[in-house]
């Protein structure tokens, strides 16, 4: 009997044939022996600590890998290792290495960039192009793990789809994080440390069905700026491809991984829209003037005119807006459509996150 039966919901094994379910009592396969060479996914219905008893097998024994299936391996070496060093003996026979937080894929004999490491206790999933066998290497390196996201909130699941995003940090205003959204719900995020970022997209309803809906991205700038929404991007077939502008929907033509481009190659850098309020034109004016403004995030927008005493004169805009550039016209009337007197007026733009003010002069 496990120490926390109420929290432990499922122990998932490689083939799925020996999965152990808990629904008040332990089901079939509950008496099977677990080995440290194999990998397992443990599903919890709440956070808890599980005490594991037993002993570790020799981590340097020969491990067999099978073609055409996911091979689940337990990594229990005391020292961390670079994934390509760990699988050096069989790199010609494998094309994907995946852990809980990162994935490496091979295209045309070349592996995608990666600086993370295999660390003690990791489940490592390997896809093979040929049957092969190997032993772990012995060249330890300092542990390198994924930094947690501060700007986005999402739920982790037992599996994910790797989404590689190429971006030009400087052209995008030096964002610190990027999040992926399906139908406005965040499904994963990553700290931006280089021009290639991998997001773990948690978009599987179960082991086979993808969350449907159009995919968007958001850039996070910390306290420096509001998030920037990106709904125009290019999808690449491989890292050398220039890409085509199209919308990603995980439920359509599912792939093992995706490559997204937000670079100047093929004009893929999205326009950076910030919430701004421009000076009206003409100014001074009589009696009509134009007010241009920009909205960074979808939400309710108010644009109002006040007199110099702070009294509200006119509501120009009070409605939902999507990110973009807009213009409002004021014809010098109040909310009762009566002409107002000459003088200085204030106009105020209010969103859910920001309020901006400017002055204008009406001369008759």
Domain covering 276-362 in this structure, CATH number: 2.60.40.4070
Q: Where are the beta strands (DSSP E) in 30-176?
A: 41-44, 63-65, 70-75, 94-98, 103-107, 110-111, 122-128, 132-134, 161-167
Alpha-carbon distance of 251 to 247, in angstroms, equals 12
Check residue 1 and give its pLDDT: 43
Total count of residues recorded for the chain: 364
Which residues, 6+ apart, have CB-to-CB distance to 39 below 8 Å?
14, 72, 73, 74, 123, 124, 125
Alpha helix segments (H runs only) across 57-175: 83-86
Full-model pTM:
0.71
Which of these, 119, 112, 128, lies nearest to 75 by C-alpha position?
Answer: 119
Assign domain 161-262 to its CATH architecture: Sandwich (2.60)
Distances (CA, A) of 315 to 92, 113, 346: 67, 53, 12
> In the chain, where are the structural domains located?
1-57, 61-146, 161-262, 276-362
Which residues, 6+ apart, have CB-to-CB distance to 158 below 8 Å?
12, 41, 43
What proportion of the chain, given as a percentage, has pLDDT over 90? 50
Q: Tens digits of per-residue pLDDT, 247-259? A: 889 988 788 899 9
Q: Tens digits of per-residue pLDDT, 277-322? A: 999 999 999 999 999 999 888 889 999 999 999 999 999 999 999 8
Alpha-carbon distance of 150 to 38, in angstroms, equals 33
Chain Cα centroid distance, residue 89: 33
* Dihedral sign (CA 217, 220, 221, 226): positive
Which residues, 6+ apart, have CB-to-CB distance to 44 below 8 Å?
7, 8, 9
Vertex 342 angle, CA 340 and 347, to 5°:
70
Check residue 2 and give its pLDDT: 47
Strands of the 20-21 sheet, one edge to the other: 20-21, 8-12, 41-44
Q: What mean pLDDT comes out for the span 139-162?
A: 89
Check residue 316 and give its pLDDT: 96
Q: Tens digits of per-residue pLDDT, 3-35? A: 445 677 778 888 777 787 766 666 666 777 788
Share the mean pLDDT of the chain. 87
Q: What mean pLDDT comes out for the span 127-155?
A: 90
Check residue 64 and give its pLDDT: 94
Which of these, 97, 296, 96, 102, lies nearest to 196 by C-alpha position?
Answer: 102
Check residue 24 and give its pLDDT: 61
HSE-up (13 A, CA, CB side) for residue 171: 13
Check residue 315 and give its pLDDT: 96
Q: What mean pLDDT comes out for the span 194-206?
A: 88
Check residue 124 and give its pLDDT: 95
Ordered DSSP codes for 182-195:
ETTEEEEEEE--SS
Same fold, 161-262 and 276-362: yes
Q: Tens digits of per-residue pLDDT, 203-220? A: 987 656 788 888 999 999
């Amino acid at each position: 009997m496990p120490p926390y039966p109420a929290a432990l919901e499922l122990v998932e094994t490689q083939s799925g044939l020996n999965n152990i379910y808990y629904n008040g009592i332990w089901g079939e396969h509950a008496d099977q022996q677990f080995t440290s060479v194999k990998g397992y996914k443990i599903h919890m219905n709440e956070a808890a600590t599980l005490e594991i008893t037993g002993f570790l097998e020799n981590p340097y024994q020969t491990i067999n890998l099978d073609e055409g299936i996911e091979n689940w391996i337990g990594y229990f070496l005391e020292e961390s290792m670079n994934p390509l060093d760990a699988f050096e003996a069989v790199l010609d026979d494998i094309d994907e290495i995946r852990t809980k937080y990162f994935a490496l894929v091979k295209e045309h004999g070349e592996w995608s960039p990666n600086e993370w490491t295999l660390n003690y206790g990791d489940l490592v999933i390997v896809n093979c192009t040929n049957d092969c066998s190997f032993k772990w290497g012995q060249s330890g390196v300092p542990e390198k793990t994924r930094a947690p996201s501060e700007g986005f909130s999402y739920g982790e699941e037992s599996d994910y789809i790797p989404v590689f995003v190429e971006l030009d940090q400087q052209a995008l205003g030096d964002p610190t994080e990027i999040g992926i959204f399906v139908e406005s719900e965040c499904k994963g995020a990553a700290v931006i440390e280089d021009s290639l970022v991998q997001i773990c997209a948690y978009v599987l309803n179960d082991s086979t069905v993808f969350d449907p809906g159009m995919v968007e991205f958001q850039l996070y700038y910390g306290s420096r700026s509001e998030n920037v929404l990106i709904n125009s991007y290019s999808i690449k077939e491989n890292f050398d491809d220039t890409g085509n502008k199209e919308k990603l929907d995980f439920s359509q033509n599912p792939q093992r991984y995706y490559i997204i481009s937000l670079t100047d190659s093929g004009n893929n850098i999205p326009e950076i829209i910030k919430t701004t309020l421009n000076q009206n034109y003409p100014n001074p004016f009589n009696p009509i003037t134009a007010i241009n403004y920009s909205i960074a995030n979808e939400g309710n927008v108010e644009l109002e005119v006040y007199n110099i005493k702070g009294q509200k004169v006119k509501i120009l805009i009070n409605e939902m807006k999507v990110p973009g550039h807009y213009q409002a016209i004021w014809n010098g009337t109040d909310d009762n459509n009566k002409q107002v007197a000459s003088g200085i007026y204030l106009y105020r733009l209010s969103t859910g996150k920001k309020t901006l003010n400017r002055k204008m002069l009406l001369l008759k």
